[in-house]
Each structure stands twice: as structure tokens, then as C-alpha cells.
Structure 1
Amino acid sequence: MPPRRVTVHHENEASNETQSSVGPEGPPPPPQLERNIKNEFRKECPPVFDGTGDPAKAETWIRAIERIFKFLRCTNQERLSCVTYQLTGSAEFWWETKQRTMTREQLGALTWENFKEELYDKYILRSYRKDKKAEFYNLKQGRMTVTEYDRALCDMSRYAPEQVNTDEKMAEKFCAGLRHEIRMALACRGRLSYAESLSRALDVEEAMPREKTTTPTTPTPPKP
């Protein structure tokens, strides 16, 4: 009796293998290409820092760089690799010297926050930040409009963030520095949020009588 022939269904086996490799969730996603973060960073036209000028210039530079980092969602290493390209002049020499004084372990553990601390200690001195903090603490409206006072308050709050880290603290600080007549008008309203305090203060200011400016007149000389 001749042996039985075994039929191999190659097509079925191939289709079964394909289905098993694909799985119930479909084919695997294509591998993600590694982005060139330095090119993406330069497309945003980041400013450079040369280490000259007053401390406010260094502050402005740091804030502009960090806005780009947040927009691009840069990692810690990407931030450090990009920021060194934006240092020029004496700032570039300072950072090169600073790196030479670090150990290999310190360089490996370096973070963006560490870099900012080093830059602040060099270009935004503690005495400057201390003076600005005291200036913010004593800030009053004076002869400023409510809008100008509010802008100054928000601008200088970065020097004492712990004093205005809640909406309640910000409202208290805002009201405490208002002119007496505006502050008294807001006091009868009870506890207000910062936005409500600002809105009420603007309304009171609008209703107050404006100071009249007198134009000096020159006397006309008598006719000969």
C-alpha cells in the first residue's frame, strides 16, 4: 500500500504567520526619526548673550531662551547643548573657564537649573536681587495710574515669588499699595480676588475727578 501524500498548504501557513506577526492591533508603528534639536532651536531666532550690560539684560535673555525651550519641549541635555551656542564674548569665555573648574562627575550631573544658578551668581548678583525684592515689598501706586501700578507689580513679582504665590496674596499686595481713596473704596467690598480687585480699582479710578492741568499764559505787553 503506497504511503499517503501529505499536502502542505503554504499559502495558509504564510497568511497565518502574517496575521500572527501583525497581531490584533495592526502593524507596528514606524520608528521615530531622531530630531535635530539644534536646527529647530535656531529656527526660533534665539537671542545671544555676551555678558555685558546691566543685570536686567541677563534676566531678559534667560526668559527668552526658556520660552523657546518650553515651546520645543526640550529635555535637560538638549537645553544645555543649545544654550552654549548662544553665549558670545566674555560670557562664552566665562562658561569655558567654569567648565574647566568642574570635575567629570559634576559635568555629567549638570542640569539646566545648575547652569542658571551659575549664570545668576555671575551676572545677576544677589545684592541686585535683594534690592529688587525690597523695592517690590515697598511698591506703592503713588502718582501712577492703576494700569501702570498693576504692570509694575506684575513685572517685579519675580523677585519675591513667595510673597504672591497665591491669588489671595496677590490681591492683598495689590490693594495694600493702592492710593488711599481707591483702597478705601475697595475695602467696603469685602474679600475680592486679584482680577476683581483690579477691575474695581479701574472703575473707581474712572469715576474719580481728573486733575485739571492749567496752561501758563504769558501776559501781553501793553501797546506803545
Structure 2
Amino acid sequence: MRPPSFSGAEGPLAAEEFLKVTETILTVTRIAPAEWVDLMDIQLTDTARIWWTAEKAHLERPILWETFTDRFNRKYFPQSARDELLRRFVELKQGGRTVDEYEAEFSSLSRFAPHLVTDPTIRRHQFQKGLDKYIRAGRQ
């Protein structure tokens, strides 16, 4: 298994995906969590590697994975990006796409609005609200 790399230029969703995939690979390969942070020297490239080299110089050793992910998210997946994805979810419209295409984006963005999707009734309402009018009319 080849772990992903991250340069810092990919954007917030790519940062989130980088951490998810990395954690999955490290878990299934049974690498000790105490060694996870050290592997970031290999996986981070370009500006992300420069950032991490400077960042870790200030941190007490050993650096915990939770510390790394907290700092990484503050830098590459900040609250402002999460807020923007929440806004995109709330304002999501089908916009002429197929229902399947709309549903795929709805599902992808829904993880940023758990309070709007955990209840099936609220989730259904949120989904229907974004459907094109002619489809919405046919579903009622």
C-alpha cells in the first residue's frame, strides 16, 4: 500500500481525504500510533512539508497524532472551510443535474451538516428542498 502525499495546494476537501486515507492505511498496516507522526515527514511534500517542519519545531516530544491532526486541520481544513461547506450544503440545489448527480453531492456535503441529516425526516426535507421544482411537484 502506498500512502498518499499532500503538498498543501490541494484544498480543504483533499486535506480531509488525506487524513482519512492515511489513518486507514496506518491502522490496517498495524503501524504503532506512536510512529504515525514521524511518517508525515515522508507523506507531506512542498509547502506542507515546510509548514510541518516549522510547526513541529515548537512542539513538545513525543508529538501525538491528535496534536498533528489538530494542527494540520487548523492549517489546511480550518473552520472557515467547514463553514463554507455547510453553507454549500444548506443552499444546494439540483440545478438541472440528474437526481443521482444531485444526490451524490448531497450525500458528500451532508457530513458537514450532521444536525440536518441525522433525523430521516429532516434529511428528506432538506433533500427535497433542493430538487428542481418540476420534480418536487411530482413527489408531493
Give the TM-score normalised by the residue count of structure 1. Answer: 0.53
Question: Pairwise mapping of residues 121-136 of structure 1 onto structure 2 (< 5 A)?
Answer: 121-136=74-89
1:153 to partner: Cα distance: 0.6
1:166 to partner: Cα distance: 4.2
Distance 2:67 2:118 in 1: 23
Aligned AA (1:60): E
- C-alpha offsets along residues 103-149 of structure 1, whole Å, 9 cap, x if unaligned? x3xx34x4433322211211233323222211111111121110010
**Quick one: structure 1 residues 168 and 71, their matched pair in 2 at CA, closer, same or farther if it must change by over 3 Å?**
farther
Q: May I ask how many residue pairs the two structures share in their alignment?
A: 140
5+ long unaligned stretches in structure 1: 1-43, 188-224
Question: Pairwise mapping of residues 183-202 of structure 1 onto structure 2 (< 5 A)?
Answer: 183-187=136-140
What residue is the counterpart of 2:125 in the other structure?
172
Distance 1:115 1:169 in 2: 35
- C-alpha offsets along residues 35-68 of structure 1, whole Å, 9 cap, x if unaligned? xxxxxxxxx1111112224333323322321332
What residue is the counterpart of 2:134 in the other structure?
181
5+ long unaligned stretches in structure 2: none
What residue is the counterpart of 2:6 in the other structure?
49
Aligned AA (1:80): V
- C-alpha offsets along residues 138-180 of structure 1, whole Å, 9 cap, x if unaligned? 1111211100100111121232233223444432321222223
Question: Greater share of helix residues, 1 or 2?
Answer: 2
Distance 1:95 1:170 in 2: 39
Return the structure number with greater relative CO, CA threshold 8 A, min gap 6: 2
Percent identical across equivalent pairs?
31
